Amino acid sequence: DPDNVVLCLLAADEEEAGDAALQIHFTLIQAFCCENDINILRVSNPARLAQLLLPAAGPEPPADLHCVLVTNPHASQWKDPALSQLMCFCRESRYMDQWVPVINLPER
């Protein structure tokens, strides 16, 4: 249900940047997100993202962590101040013609 999705995280590291299938996958997801007014962020370190989101999963990230949809079941997505800041960051990035901002997650 795209109405409840507030953010799409696309995670890929430098080794995967040349993967044509993954880039096509990301392009299709980005088109869907733009069509449905869903903010998009690229994350440069999928392993670190897995540590943050799935701490009990171990050192290897799950194979399907390349795309994470963040949903908000609340009627107003501005109730959470962190989510509000993230939405502002995405909006400001679009004003600077950076349609898909990149977040570099450092190693722990």
pLDDT of 31 reads 92
pLDDT of 74 reads 64
Q: Where are the domains of the chain?
A: 1-101
Q: How far apart are CA 62 and CA 59, in angstroms?
A: 10
Query: Strands across the sheet with 102-103, in order?
Result: 67-71, 5-11, 39-43, 102-103
Out of 3.30.1330.30, 3.30.70.3450, 3.90.79.10, 3.10.20.70, the CATH code matching 1-101 is: 3.30.1330.30
Tell me the mean pLDDT per 10 residues along the chain, length 108.
85 82 91 90 85 71 75 65 82 81 79
User: Token pair for residue 104?
Assistant: 């570099």
Q: How far apart are CA 15 and CA 7, in angstroms?
A: 24
